[in-house]
Amino acid sequence: MPATDYQASFLGRISLRRNQVIAMDGNHEQEDLELFSKHVSERFTELLSPPDDVVFDTLLSISWLRKLLDVFLCCEAEFKAVLMMGDDDHPFQISKPPLDRLIHEFLDRSIKALDLCNAVTNGLDSVRHYQKLAEIAASALGQKPIGDGQARRSRKALNSLLMAMSVDDKECSAVKTTERSWSFSRLAVNKDRSPGHLRQVAKKWSAAKQIQAMTWNLVPPRGAEGSGLASPVYTMSVIMVFVMWALAAAIPCQERNGLSATYFPVRKQWSWDQSITGLHEKIAEEWKEKEKKGAAGLLSEVQKMEKLVRNLMEFTDSFQFHGGTDEKAEEAADHAAELAEICKRMEEGLLPLQMKIKEVFHRIVRSRAEFLQALKQGGKSSAPPV
C-alpha cells in the first residue's frame, strides 16, 4: 500500500476517534498496537514474493528494494503516530522511564542507519559505473557482424567491469579505494599516479560493524513492558535494522565482512516476526551461496549482469583467437541484448532508488528531531522518577 494512502486512512481513523464523546479507557491504545503489528506483518509478507514486473530468481532487485523502502516509510509513519498519539491520553509518556531510554537507544540506531544510507547511496554510484561499462560492452557486441575491433572494445569494457566488481567485493579490504581499475600497462607503471588513500566513507567504518552495533541492546521487551509502547519501539527497531541490512547486502558498500551472519534477536511471538524472519532467512541463504562464488552485492541486476559478463568474456576471448562461429555469434548477440536490457532497467531504476533512500534519510532525520523535541518537553514537565 503506498505510503500516502495508508496515512490518509490512518489519520482518518484518528480524527474519528477524537470526535467520539464516549469515555476512553486504556484499551484503545492496545488496539493501536495490535493494528500496528498486524500492518507490519501484512506488508512484510507481501514482500516475500517479488514484484510482478521482475523476472529475476533472486529477491533483491531494484524494484523490490524500492518496495522495501516504501514499506519502511509506511511503518515509520504509523509508528510515529502510535507513539505520539499516546501523548494525548498520557502526556509525555515517551519521556518517562523505561520508555525514554528505549527511545534514546532507538534514536542512536537511527543515526547509524543514516550513515548506512549514505554508504549505500555511494555504493549505488559504483553500480552506475558498472552500468556504463556494460552499456559499452553490450553495444559493441550488438553490431552485426561482430568485427575484431568491436570484440576487443567489448572485452576491454567487460574486463574493467569485472575488475570493478571484484574490487568492490573485496570484503577483506578495510579501505576501499575509489581508484578506477585502469587496465593499461603503461599507466600501471606510471609513477605519478598515487595509489591514493581515497575513501568514500570513514576509514574505520564498516557496514557490518555498523549493523551489528545497531543490534546491540536490541532486546525484545519482556513481561509487562511488552504490552506498552515498548513493543512498537522494538518492532520499529527490528524493521530499521532489517531494511539497512538488506540494503547493505544488496549494494556494494564498505566492509561487509560477516554481515551475512547478522543475528536477529526476534522471538516468534508476534505475527510480523515470521515474515521478517522469513525474508531474512531467504536473503541470508542467497548470500551464503553467492559468498562462495564472490559477488559484488546481491542486487539481482548486478548478479545477472555478472553472469552475462562472464559469458561474454568467454566469447570475446575465444573470438580473439578463433574468429566467431555463427552460432556463438548469435548466442553472444543474445547475451548482449540481455545485458542491454539490464542496463536499461538500471538506467530507469537507479535514480528513483537513490531518491527513495534520500527520502528515508530525511524522514529519519525529521522524526529524530520530533522525538528529541517531545523528550525535551516531557523532561521539563515530568516529575522526577521516584
> Which member of 149, 223, 384, 385 binds other proteins (CB under 8 A)?
149
Residues 44-103 that bind other proteins (CB under 8 A): none
Of residues 186 and 292, the one with the C-beta less far from other proteins:
186
> Which member of 15, 27, 194, 381 binds other proteins (CB under 8 A)?
194
Of residues 270 and 315, the one with the C-beta less far from other proteins:
315
Q: How far is the CB of 12 from other proteins (least distance, A)?
A: 29
The answer to whether 6 and 78 are in contact (CB under 8 A) is: yes
Of residues 134 and 233, the one with the C-beta less far from other proteins:
134
Is position 216 an interface residue for other proteins (rule: CB under 8 A)?
Answer: no
> Where do we find the cell 537507544?
105
Contacts of 7-11 with CB under 8 Å at 24 or more apart are 7/74, 7/77, 10/77, 10/78, 10/81, 11/81
> Which member of 67, 96, 153, 170 binds other proteins (CB under 8 A)?
153
Q: How far apart are CA 261 and CA 177, in angstroms?
A: 25
Q: How far is the CB of 201 from other proteins (least distance, A)?
A: 7
Is position 365 an interface residue for other proteins (rule: CB under 8 A)?
Answer: yes
Question: For residue 78, which of 236, 237, 277, 221 has the smallest C-alpha distance?
Answer: 236
Q: How far is the CB of 155 from other proteins (least distance, A)?
A: 10
Is position 219 an interface residue for other proteins (rule: CB under 8 A)?
Answer: no
Judge if the upstream peptide bond of residue 98 is cis by omega within 30 degrees of 0.
yes
Q: How far apart are CA 313 and CA 64, in angstroms?
A: 29
**What residue type is assigned to position 15 of the chain?**
S
Question: For residue 221, which of 114, 113, 105, 383 has the smallest C-alpha distance?
Answer: 105
Of residues 112 and 290, the one with the C-beta less far from other proteins:
112
Is position 148 an interface residue for other proteins (rule: CB under 8 A)?
Answer: yes
> Which member of 200, 257, 271, 377 binds other proteins (CB under 8 A)?
200
Of residues 66 and 282, the one with the C-beta less far from other proteins:
66
DSSP reduced 3-state for 194: coil
Distances (CA, A) of 206 to 120, 213, 256, 311: 12, 10, 7, 33
The answer to whether 249 and 298 are in contact (CB under 8 A) is: yes
Is position 112 an interface residue for other proteins (rule: CB under 8 A)?
Answer: yes
Distances (CA, A) of 336 to 135, 226, 318: 9, 55, 16
Q: How far apart are CA 74 and CA 50, in angstroms?
A: 19
Of residues 17 and 199, the one with the C-beta less far from other proteins:
199
The set of cell numbers assigned to 44 is 512484510
Count residues contacting other proteins (CB under 8 A)?
53
Stretch that binds other proteins, among 59-67, 70-78, 134-142, 309-317 (CB under 8 A): 134-142
Q: How far is the CB of 222 from other proteins (least distance, A)?
A: 29
Task: Look at phi and psi of residue 174 and say left if phi exceeds 0, alpha if psi is from -120 to 50, else beta.
Answer: alpha
Q: How far is the CB of 284 from other proteins (least distance, A)?
A: 26
Is position 182 an interface residue for other proteins (rule: CB under 8 A)?
Answer: yes
The site map against other proteins for 343-362 (x = CB under 8 A) is: --------x--xx--x--xx
Q: Which residues sit at the interface with other proteins, rule CB under 8 A?
A: 111-112, 114-115, 118, 121-122, 125, 128-129, 132-133, 135-136, 139, 145, 147-150, 152-153, 156-157, 178-180, 182, 184, 186-187, 190, 192-194, 196-203, 205, 351, 354-355, 358, 361-362, 365, 368-369
